[in-house]
Chain A
């Protein structure tokens, strides 16, 4: 398994070098090679232990399962789409393209990490690569982003230290009941909340997502933020926590539910495309966080829903950002109040926008519906009030998503423009169509993904 990880990282490094030199096609090829290697790892699946430092806490666990495969698939699809979008938009700087591949390399490492030190190493790599991505556009924002995220990483490190001392660094252990382990659980939950951008640790999200171009925001929202959900699954579900912590997990689940509601409500009032997408991300991160936290409290259906939501949101939100990018580029504005009837002149973009907005609205047959349904049903088994809160959040989400669709594509604008914007070129449309297809497949045929998650839960969770 270590050889497969090393090979996969080497391929990602080659891709980064190719991207730096402007060879987009070669970089995308390495992404697909990485996906093949991930599939090979899934076939081989298992866990291996290696001595990394020769000290008690320095054991590395390397493994791969179905959820790892799903997370890597999201990364491959989204990074490829972003690279293709950049190419269709006239290209980007070598550093930007290289940083996208470095993000994928970090995700690769996270997918194979089966122990706390290994996870933390690639977690920090992801932070560095995503900071580099933002820094290639806005240095000041990148540094604020780094400081914010690193604070979360340090909380994780503290939690890792406590867990390593009590149970050891490998996953699959039973955590003893003690104040220190409670502190470890809190620190880890907070660190994932920072990464996901869950209220009240969400203030980095609007700035980071709106101050970078949509192709970068797509990767940040789909992959980097999704790593928070993946990490929450991999680290927290990797241990058997004492039953006394169930109320703590429910409390944090409420934090997610509040974030889902507030994010959705805030998005309703926004008119700028980037801000709608940002608050939408805060809301959906709240869903993920709530589902995974409720799952820890003893609702496996909610856990499956949370992981499914991580996968689906990882594709839907990048689609939304890229659609927003096309709309802004073609119309010259990012304010939805100045848009209208775009479905007439931009049918393909309209289709992609429809797919994204219906998914965000939680409409059946689109990607986010299965996950939200499982989340709400799972939460209902433990706390009916939380299920109600999540359902209310779904309504808010539907409100801004449908408002977006109607405002931009269907209804006439307040002031009729002289001319409707033209449809984007094929270079920009191709990634939209790929993502839209993925979104529809996830919505129409979620069973294989759900089965993957269930099989991982049965094997991975102690």
Chain B
């Protein structure tokens, strides 16, 4: 195991590669990008960073096994996607690396400073990617940018209201010495900020538009680098809020979670556009994560195993579908990959999605939150319904070059479904 400086090294590696990629010819961009991602994966895998990086009393980074697991898995998925992505040049390559660097910062953030910096950096980089893509992607990128700015503002205000110590470290939130009313207001603002960023209802309106308009590979990068870590941060902050969250605030968050699931899943059910359908699925994922967090805080559980499983499974499945699905002619490997992603999203064994949804139900059931388990199970069924409806109607044409890395991604979903424990083993989490 190594210290948290490894995370800094990884981020520096990404940024420096981004700069290099911007200076070199276009054809060097993709190899550099893939090499950098592979290097970061190896660094985290071999180094398994643990501990806090504190600078002048501010906990900049917090590293632990679960975060390493998530980083390795998400980066591996992203690498497989990017290996099949065309059109990476001296502009998009560095921007993708910048999004990844921001994602590393968000995932390993130990304080609001790092979190907000990561969100802002990620927003700028992703917006630039969207603008560069042109067409409707410009409008979607701008929507995402405005949402991120508002989210960051709420976060900054919220942490400020909780007091100076809360700005230094997430661990200090529980011990905030401000008045109860200020604590509630602060937490509400923080949750609003994270809700906007993750697409929790009623802040979800940007999600389907971005899902529909942004090119699939770039959207997958955003999901895997930024969206997934943000969901985990949402979970950690809610579950770690402790006594502050109990009572009315917990009830309100639970209600918002259920509404997110309701809006997300039922809106997806009626969509004709498959990408908007998947976009609404992202909205419901935020709801499931928040619901799980509420259950954990009420039951006093702190283990990150189940949320890591759920967040990675849903985002990894969605990212594959977004990237591999081209709507018209698809090669056989891509069709298999899309089918695997859809079945994983629907929670059909033996794919990864089943393991994650089963673990959510297990966690809620073990905490004796039967109503929450029943609600989650119901919305899982709705998700399965629209996925199967899509599969029923899907009539892809054949053609195009074989995209074997997408097939490898599908195999990854299968392997993770059969042996999900491997996710934690590679991150150095003790069983």
Residues of A in contact with B (beta carbons under 8 Å apart): 51-58, 117, 120-122, 124-125, 128, 143, 146-147, 150, 154, 158, 161, 164-165
Contact A158-B361, Cβ < 8 Å, known A54-B421, A54-B424:
no
Q: Are B362 and A124 in contact (CB under 8 A)?
A: no
State how many angstroms separate the Cβ of B62 from the closest Cβ of chain A.
Answer: 21
Q: Are A53 and B431 in contact (CB under 8 A)?
A: no
Query: Which residue on chain B has the smallest CB distance to residue A50?
Result: B421
Q: Are A117 and B431 in contact (CB under 8 A)?
A: no
Q: Are A164 and B362 in contact (CB under 8 A)?
A: yes
Q: Are A54 and B431 in contact (CB under 8 A)?
A: yes
Contact A128-B348, Cβ < 8 Å, known A52-B420, A54-B424, A147-B388:
yes
A-side contacts of B363, CB under 8 Å: 55
Interface 9-mer from B13-21, B71-79, B145-153, B352-360:
B352-360
Tell me whether B80 is interfacial, beta carbon within 8 Å.
no
Q: Are B365 and A143 in contact (CB under 8 A)?
A: no
Using A121-B350, A150-B384 as known contacts, list a sample of 8 further A-B pairs with CB atoms less than 8 Å apart, ordered by residue number in A.
Answer: A51-B421, A53-B362, A57-B361, A58-B358, A121-B418, A124-B354, A125-B350, A154-B381
Q: Are B366 and A158 in contact (CB under 8 A)?
A: no
Query: Which residue on chain A has the smallest CB distance to residue B360?
Result: A55
Tell me whether B113 is interfacial, beta carbon within 8 Å.
no
The interface size of chain B toward A, counting residues with CB under 8 Å, comes to 29
Task: Give per-residue flags for B153-186: 1 if the beta carbon is below 8 A from chain A beta carbons, else 0.
Answer: 0000000000000000000000000000000000
Q: Are B421 and A143 in contact (CB under 8 A)?
A: no
Question: Which of B349, B362, B384, B424 meets A121, CB within 8 Å?
Answer: B349
| In the complex, chain B residues 335-356 whose Cβ is within 8 Å of any chain A Cβ | 343, 348-350, 354-355
Q: Are B355 and A53 in contact (CB under 8 A)?
A: yes
Tell me whether B309 is interfacial, beta carbon within 8 Å.
yes
Tell me whether B377 is interfacial, beta carbon within 8 Å.
yes
Tell me whether B392 is interfacial, beta carbon within 8 Å.
yes
Contact A52-B361, Cβ < 8 Å, known A125-B350, A158-B377:
no
Taken together as a complex, chains A and B put the C-alpha atoms of A55 and B364 apart, in Å, by: 11
Q: Which 3 A-B pairs have the closest CB atoms?
A: A57-B362, A121-B349, A55-B362
State how many angstroms separate the Cβ of B366 from the closest Cβ of chain A.
Answer: 4
A-side contacts of B431, CB under 8 Å: 51, 54
Tell me whether B306 is interfacial, beta carbon within 8 Å.
yes
Task: Give per-residue flags for B389-431: 1 if the beta carbon is below 8 A from chain A beta carbons, else 0.
Answer: 0001000000000000000000000000111110010000001
B-side contacts of A54, CB under 8 Å: 305, 421, 424, 431
A-side contacts of B381, CB under 8 Å: 154
19 A–B pairs (Cβ distance < 8 Å), ordered by A: A53-B355, A53-B421, A54-B421, A55-B362, A55-B363, A56-B362, A56-B365, A56-B366, A120-B349, A121-B349, A121-B350, A121-B354, A124-B349, A124-B354, A125-B349, A128-B348, A143-B392, A158-B377, A165-B365
Q: Are A52 and B421 in contact (CB under 8 A)?
A: yes
Taken together as a complex, chains A and B put the C-alpha atoms of A154 and B358 apart, in Å, by: 12
Tell me whether B318 is interfacial, beta carbon within 8 Å.
no
Taken together as a complex, chains A and B put the C-alpha atoms of A53 and B418 apart, in Å, by: 10
Taken together as a complex, chains A and B put the C-alpha atoms of A120 and B349 apart, in Å, by: 8
B-side contacts of A146, CB under 8 Å: 388
Taken together as a complex, chains A and B put the C-alpha atoms of A117 and B417 apart, in Å, by: 12
Taken together as a complex, chains A and B put the C-alpha atoms of A56 and B358 apart, in Å, by: 11
A-side contacts of B138, CB under 8 Å: none
State how many angstroms separate the Cβ of A121 from the closest Cβ of chain B.
Answer: 4
B-side contacts of A143, CB under 8 Å: 392
B-side contacts of A128, CB under 8 Å: 343, 348
Taken together as a complex, chains A and B put the C-alpha atoms of A146 and B346 apart, in Å, by: 14
Task: Give per-residue flags for B66-86: 1 if the beta carbon is below 8 A from chain A beta carbons, else 0.
Answer: 000000000000000000000
Taken together as a complex, chains A and B put the C-alpha atoms of A150 and B362 apart, in Å, by: 21
Contact A53-B358, Cβ < 8 Å, known A154-B381, A161-B365, A161-B373:
yes
B-side contacts of A147, CB under 8 Å: 388
Question: Which of A57, A124, A161, A164 meets B350, CB within 8 Å?
Answer: A124
Q: Are B348 and A164 in contact (CB under 8 A)?
A: no
A-side contacts of B361, CB under 8 Å: 57, 161
Contact A124-B377, Cβ < 8 Å, known A53-B309, A55-B305, A57-B365:
no
State how many angstroms separate the Cβ of A152 from the closest Cβ of chain B.
Answer: 14
State how many angstroms separate the Cβ of B319 from the closest Cβ of chain A.
Answer: 22
| In the complex, chain B residues 372-393 whose Cβ is within 8 Å of any chain A Cβ | 373, 377, 381, 384, 388, 392
Taken together as a complex, chains A and B put the C-alpha atoms of A54 and B65 apart, in Å, by: 15
B-side contacts of A52, CB under 8 Å: 355, 419-421
A-side contacts of B309, CB under 8 Å: 53
Query: Which residue on chain A has the smallest CB distance to residue B417?
Result: A121
Taken together as a complex, chains A and B put the C-alpha atoms of A57 and B418 apart, in Å, by: 15
B-side contacts of A150, CB under 8 Å: 384, 388
Taken together as a complex, chains A and B put the C-alpha atoms of A122 and B431 apart, in Å, by: 24
Taken together as a complex, chains A and B put the C-alpha atoms of A61 and B362 apart, in Å, by: 17
Question: Which of A51, A57, A122, A125 meets B358, CB within 8 Å?
Answer: A57
Query: Which residue on chain A has the smallest CB distance to residue B419?
Result: A52
Taken together as a complex, chains A and B put the C-alpha atoms of A36 and B149 apart, in Å, by: 64
Query: Which residue on chain A has the smallest CB distance to residue B373?
Result: A161
A-side contacts of B362, CB under 8 Å: 53, 55-58, 164
Q: Please indicate which of the listed interface residues B358, B361, B420, B424 has the most CB atoms of chain A within 10 Å of its own CB.
A: B358
Task: Give per-residue flags for B297-320: 1 if the beta carbon is below 8 A from chain A beta carbons, else 0.
Answer: 000000001100100000000000
State how many angstroms separate the Cβ of B304 from the closest Cβ of chain A.
Answer: 11
State how many angstroms separate the Cβ of A354 from the closest Cβ of chain B.
Answer: 42
